[in-house]
Structures are given as C-alpha cells and as structure tokens.
Amino acid sequence: MATHSIDPEALRVRLQRQLAGSYLIERELGGGGSSSVFLAKDIALDRPVVLKVLPPALVADVDAERFRREIQIAARLQHPHLVPLLSASIDAPAGDHEQVRWFSMPYIEGPTLRERLVRRGPPPLPEALQLLREIALGLAYAHARGVVHRDIKPENVLLNDGIAMISDFGVAKALDDASDAALHAGRRITTVSTALGTPAYMAPEQVVRSATVDHRADLYAFGCVAYEVLTGDPPFVRSTLRATMAAQLAETPVPILKQCPGLPPALAEIVMRCLAKEPLERPASAAWIVRAIEHAMAWTPAGAETDAAAVPAPAAAPPPVAAQCLRRSILGTALALVAAAVLWGVLG
Ligand SMILES: Nc1ncnc2c1ncn2[C@@H]1O[C@H](COP(=O)(O)OP(=O)(O)OP(=O)(O)O)[C@@H](O)[C@H]1O
Ligand SMILES: [Mg+2]
C-alpha cells in the first residue's frame, strides 16, 4: 500500500549517510516494491533490525511535536503480541528536506500472515483461533493504553515462530497525522495513500475520514482479517480500491456461517459483529473478543460431544470447519487444473 515518490536507491543512500556508524543497511524488504522498509545491521549490538522510513514527501508536513508524542506513546507498548519499537529519528531539523525520519524494530524472521495465507491458504480451525486470539490480545493491550492501530491487515501481522505479532503500532497514526496535514495544506501527494489505511480492512468511518475514528475501527479491521483467516477471503473483494471502499460503506457482508457452516457459532457471531457498519454495534472491546475466541476454543461441534471424563481431550475429532471452507478452494484448484490440461491439449 505504501508508496514513495523518491527512488528507493536514492532513499537508501540518503538514509545510510544519515545512519553512518550506527546501522549498516543491507537490503530493502517487501520485494523492493512499494514500501520503504530496510533490513539493516545494528553495528554496536551486531544484530539485525528493520528500519521503516517515513515517506519523504510527508516529512515537511509532520508536526514535529505531535509526531514525537505519537512515537513515544508507541514506544511504551511492550507486549508479546506487538512488535516493539526500538528507536526512532525524531528530531529532523525543521526545513531540512534531506533528513529521513525512520523507526527501528526487531527483525522478525517468520513470514507475515499475508505470506502464510498465500502460501498455505486458510489455516485449520485450531491454528486460526490461536492466531486470532493472539492478535486480539495485542489489540486489547494497546487499546487499554489508548493506542489505536488504524491499519490492521495480514501484512501487519508477523509470525514469529508461529506466534502472531502486530507491527506498525502507533506508526499509522503518526503517518495519518502527517497526511492530514498534507491534505489540509492542499498538497496532492501520492504518499498520502500510505496513511489512509487499506481498503479491504478499512472501517466505514475511516473510509469517510470521520474525526471520530477510535479503537472500534481496529475491531472492524480485525473482523475483516478474521473473516479472511477463516474463509480465505476478506468480506469485500472488489476490482478497484474505490469499489472496495464503497462496499465497506454500504454492502452487507455474506454471513460467515454461510461460507463455513462448521464454525463455532460464538466465533461466527463475534466476527460478524465486528463487521457492523455502526461502531456502537461492534463488540465493546478487543478483550471481549479474546473471551469469545476462548469460548470458541472450548467448543465442540454438535454430535461430537463426548464424556469428557472418559475420553482425553486430544482424542476429540478436530472441528470440520477447515475442510468445509477449503472445499471451495479445492474445487477452484481442480477447475483450474482441468482448464490448464485442456489448454495444454489444445496447444500441444
Ligand atoms: N519487523 C519486521 N521484521 C521482518 N520483516 C518485516 C518487519 N517489518 C516489515 N517487514 C517486512 O517488510 C514488508 C513491508 O512492510 P511495510 O510495513 O512497509 O508494508 P505493508 O505492511 O505492506 O504496508 P504499510 O506501509 O501499509 O504497513 C512486510 O510485508 C514484511 O514482509
Ligand atoms: Mg506494515
């Protein structure tokens, strides 16, 4: 989603000059495409870190004091399911457009949740529940400290040895402030898209840039992520960003139980409630969602109830949801294979 108008190589050179002696930049992460995220070595501690660079076109619009506050609040977050901030360049001299603003965080070797979903499709129900619970725990912790993420999506969930950690906490807010300032200044810059959130996970109130975006926008995005983790797709997949945003505003999502009839009903209910257009109708808090997920973890499908004393827990049949949800994608893959075979025959 992030874009920057400056050539990545020029940015890297500028950043390396500024960081000389403390960090050695190794390569750009994220496929060298859209985002300004670099893998670097912390020279003194001899360990890998990730440097995320604020889009240079936004630096001029950053209110330095506000930016410092946002970053300092984010830096105080310490939780097993949040990627911590390690350091940040806060004090760019006013008017110095050569200065690059950056944050550093630990390098998480595992894939992002997006990469996990692309490679292996929706996880089996127990793994899905575990991941969703971890994300909800991270949200509950940050929300209790008054910090809202604003850009929850599978790309911002890193899997550290299989454990979910939310990245970019507090950063989206700082970027949002900068892009608001740029918009107010009447500047049309491509980098503004960085801070607007990501349409497939964007709450209706974010789509209309309401002044009252709060933790419930994260709960909406969590609902979209949960829907995708459980079914394979977010609730609204449209061919353009604009159409996706229009759907977030006006369309009713297909009930998740229709897609995956085997889901624990309490889980299905909580996901659909997160997707309410009206923030007041969403669950009150991420902590509440954690409890609902834990309830779903203890659930067994109708007909699979057994005498708990007689049968040890691991022997219980695994919930059938993954198989039911996957049936569609297996069918899709089979159709694609048949089409490829036919094409091969025609061409051959
Ligand atoms: N702490 C980290 N450790 C390891 N890899 C990371 C880390 N942070 C980011 N990455 C990698 O860099 C990629 C780009 O990150 P970035 O946050 O810029 O992109 P994004 O999440 O797709 O977009 P956005 O700017 O909207 O958050 C991620 O998809 C991930 O693969
Ligand atoms: Mg990110």
Select from 113, 157, 141, 133 the least CA-distant residue to 296.
133
Pocket test for ligand 1, best of 29, 118, 198 (most atoms within 8 A of CB): 29
For 39, half-sphere exposure in the C-beta direction (CA atoms, 13 angstrom radius) is: 12
Ligand 2 center to 240 CA (angstroms): 21
Sheet with 37-42, side-by-side order of all strands = 23-28, 37-42, 47-53, 102-106, 87-88
Hey, whose CA ends up nearest to atom 16 of ligand 1? 35
pLDDT for position 254: 97
pLDDT for position 327: 47
- Taking a 5 Å cut-off on Cβ, the residues next to ion ligand 2 are 156, 168
Domains of the chain (ranges; CATH) run 75-84+110-347 (1.10.510.10)
- Distance between CA 255 and CA 227 in Å, rounded? 10
Ligand 2 center to 166 CA (angstroms): 9
The answer to whether 190 touches 79, Cβ cutoff 8 Å, is no
pLDDT digits (tens), the chain, 348 positions: 444 456 778 888 888 988 888 999 999 886 544 458 999 999 999 999 999 887 776 666 667 777 788 888 889 999 999 999 999 887 655 555 667 888 899 999 999 999 999 999 999 999 999 999 999 999 999 999 999 999 999 999 999 999 999 998 877 766 666 666 666 666 544 443 444 578 999 999 999 988 788 999 999 999 999 999 999 999 999 999 999 999 999 999 999 999 999 999 999 999 999 999 999 999 999 999 999 999 999 877 765 544 433 334 443 444 445 545 654 444 434 433 444 454 455 444
Ligand 1 center to 202 CA (angstroms): 18
Report helix, strand or coil for 298.
coil
Residue with tokens 């089409």: 339
Please give the number of the atom of ligand 1 that sits closest to the Cα of 155: 21
CA distances from 127 to 91, 147, 170, 230, 319 (A): 42, 27, 27, 10, 11
Q: What is the pLDDT of residues 4-52, one digit of tens each?
A: 456 778 888 888 988 888 999 999 886 544 458 999 999 999 999 999 8
Distance spanning both ends of the chain, measured CA to CA: 40
